[in-house]
Amino acid sequence: MPKRVDHALRRRQIVDAVCRITLKGGLAAATFREVAAEAGVSVRLVQYYFGTKDQLLLSTHQHVAERATKRITERVADAGHTPRDALRALLGSFIPTDDDSRETMLLFAALHTAALVDPSLARDESLAVPRSLHAAITRHLRRGKLRRGTDPDMEAAILAGLIPSLAQAVLDGLQTADEAHQILDYALDRALT
Amino acid sequence: MPKRVDHALRRRQIVDAVCRITLKGGLAAATFREVAAEAGVSVRLVQYYFGTKDQLLLSTHQHVAERATKRITERVADAGHTPRDALRALLGSFIPTDDDSRETMLLFAALHTAALVDPSLARDESLAVPRSLHAAITRHLRRGKLRRGTDPDMEAAILAGLIPSLAQAVLDGLQTADEAHQILDYALDRALT
């Protein structure tokens, strides 16, 4: 039997190598040469699977987004059933409290910044996460009992905007995770009765 | 007379070169060699003034923060005198509407991400901007007439957290500057009568 190659596994090993290198030294350090060495494959193989650095970073972005979405979906499923419980679980899961969530937020920040500077990376795919987050928040808010005078779209925009900042402030050491959760709770209380 | 060297000007030329390179290709591209070539000086001179990449990035961060602070202070001085006017001018000035504000936000994002990944860059100096922003917002809110049940510290945390996200969403093309201003106005109306 000819040797079967698990392409998905190979691609995954390479993308994981990009993540590890980025967490140690920033995206700048993730050259094809460094990624190949870290993944234990040849530079040609990285080129074969991803072609350009652009493609490699987009695949890394998608991988990080999928991993985060899985973790967040599980947390929301475990949460209570009121809209406030769901929102608290959904939004709270972005606040880094362990290595996994910390690494995810660092990778998002690094990939997002790269996309800001290099317009070829700023594709529509990379806007999928903030767009679906905004849609999910609006959906939960509309299920709930909104305070008088509140606009669900505007409240969703505030909550969606607040979350990356709270997460980054915790990473920066500007705030503790507890303080970030308090601000989130306050923002939810301002929107929902 | 011996030739006088304007050290401040030389440092400024080098820091400006870091900014231009970062805006074109990200901080990764800002090696000592590239910075020296862009500034039209020798690599030795960059090393003489800044020693390490760490020092160079910190000086760049301070320069970008000073330039932004000057622009924002002028806008606040030109604004009306109510707390709401002052807050609108202060916070609105982060939303990119021209090349200058767009470049400033891109540079902040790049420098901030570098600091997240490289703890040697995450010094207390780089937290000065978010800390002073939060303090200024709280000060203006306390001068104003807060809505019943609002907490000025929490409202300041929400506004301070919202601003970088609104700015980045405009850079990303997720929102227009007008939409960002509408969200900001809504958030101000929720805090102040």
Residue B40, Ramachandran bin (φ over 0: left; ψ between -120 and 50: alpha; else beta) = left
Please tell me the distance from the alpha carbon of residue B154 to that of residue A183, in angstroms, as a whole number. Answer: 6
pLDDT of B86 reads 93
For residues A158 and B158, the answer to whether their CB atoms sit within 8 Å is yes
Write out pLDDT tens, residues A56-71: 988 998 899 888 888 8
Select from B151, B169, B183 the Cβ nearest to the Cβ of A186.
B151
Q: Is it the case that residue A149 has pLDDT exceeding 90?
A: no
pLDDT of B163 reads 93
Tell me the residue type at B133.
Answer: L
What CA–CA distances, in Å, run from B59 to B45, B49, B91, B113? Answer: 15, 10, 24, 16
Residue B147, Ramachandran bin (φ over 0: left; ψ between -120 and 50: alpha; else beta) = beta
DSSP state of B28: G
Q: How confident is the model at residue A3 (pLDDT cuts 50, 70, 90)?
A: low
Q: What is the mean pLDDT of residues A16-43?
A: 92
Do B127 and A161 count as a contact with CB atoms less than 8 A apart? no
Do A165 and B162 count as a contact with CB atoms less than 8 A apart? yes
For residues B36 and B42, the answer to whether their CB atoms sit within 8 Å is yes
Q: Is it the case that residue B122 has pLDDT exceeding 70?
A: no
Residue with tokens 């923002």: A187
Do B162 and A166 count as a contact with CB atoms less than 8 A apart? no
Contact status of A20 with chain B (Cβ, < 8 Å)? no
Write out pLDDT tens, residues B150-184: 999 999 999 999 998 999 899 888 899 999 999 99
Q: Is it the case that residue A122 has pLDDT exceeding 70?
A: no
Select from A116, A172, A182 the Cβ nearest to the Cβ of B122.
A172
Higher-confidence position of A54 and B151? B151
CB atoms within 10 A of CB B36: 18
Average pLDDT of chain A is 89
Contact status of A98 with chain B (Cβ, < 8 Å)? no
pLDDT of B84 reads 93
Q: Is it the case that residue A41 has pLDDT exceeding 80?
A: yes
Q: Is it the case that residue B25 has pLDDT exceeding 90?
A: no
Phi, psi of A118, rounded to the nearest 5 degrees? -105, 100
Q: How confident is the model at residue A53 (pLDDT cuts 50, 70, 90)?
A: confident
Do A158 and B27 count as a contact with CB atoms less than 8 A apart? no
What's the token pair of residue A140?
A: 């939960």
pLDDT of A70 reads 87
Q: How confident is the model at residue A123 (pLDDT cuts 50, 70, 90)?
A: low
Q: How many residues can be counted in chain B? A: 193
Q: What is the mean pLDDT of residues A176-189?
A: 96
Please tell me the distance from the alpha carbon of residue B169 to that of residue B155, in angstroms, as a whole number. Answer: 21
pLDDT of B182 reads 97
Residue with tokens 């590239």: B34
pLDDT of B119 reads 67
Do B165 and A168 count as a contact with CB atoms less than 8 A apart? no
Q: Is it the case that residue B1 has pLDDT exceeding 70?
A: no
pLDDT of B43 reads 96
Contacts of B166 in chain A (CB under 8 A): 161
Q: Which of A99, A111, A105 is nearest to A168 (CA)?
A: A105
Please tell me the distance from the alpha carbon of residue B144 to that of residue A172, in angstroms, as a whole number. Answer: 30
Higher-confidence position of A122 and A168? A168
User: Which stretches of A26-52 are DSSP H helices?
Assistant: 32-39, 43-50
Phi, psi of B95, rounded to the nearest 5 degrees? -75, 120
pLDDT of B152 reads 94
What CA–CA distances, in Å, run from B134 to A88, B51, B141? Answer: 24, 33, 11
Tell me the residue type at B102.
Answer: R
CB atoms within 10 A of CB B100: 12
Q: How confident is the model at residue A2 (pLDDT cuts 50, 70, 90)?
A: low
Do B172 and A131 count as a contact with CB atoms less than 8 A apart? no
pLDDT of A49 reads 95
Q: Is it the case that residue B73 has pLDDT exceeding 60?
A: yes
Write out pLDDT tens, residues A9-24: 999 999 999 999 999 8
Q: Quick one: chain B helix, strand, coil %, rounded to 5?
A: 75, 0, 20
Please tell me the distance from the alpha carbon of residue B15 to that of residue B25, in angstroms, as a whole number. Answer: 15
- Determine the 3-state secondary structure of A174 from DSSP: coil
Please tell me the distance from the alpha carbon of residue A159 to that of residue A166, in angstroms, as a whole number. Answer: 10
For residues A95 and A162, the answer to whether their CB atoms sit within 8 Å is no
Please tell me the distance from the alpha carbon of residue A14 to that of residue A58, in angstroms, as a whole number. Answer: 13
ipTM attached to this prediction: 0.86
Angle between helices B177-191 and B83-92 (to 10 degrees): 150
Quote the distance between the C-alpha of residue A132 and its chain's center. 12
Q: What is the mean pLDDT of residues A24-37?
A: 89
Higher-confidence position of B40 and B5? B40
Phi, psi of B186, rounded to the nearest 5 degrees? -60, -45
Q: Which of B182, B152, B183 is nearest to A155 (CA)?
A: B183
Q: Which of A171, A125, A161, A113 is nearest to B159 (CA)?
A: A161
Percent of the residues in chain A that have a pLDDT greater than 90, as a whole number: 53
Q: Is it the case that residue B92 has pLDDT exceeding 60?
A: yes
Tell me the residue type at B107.
Answer: L
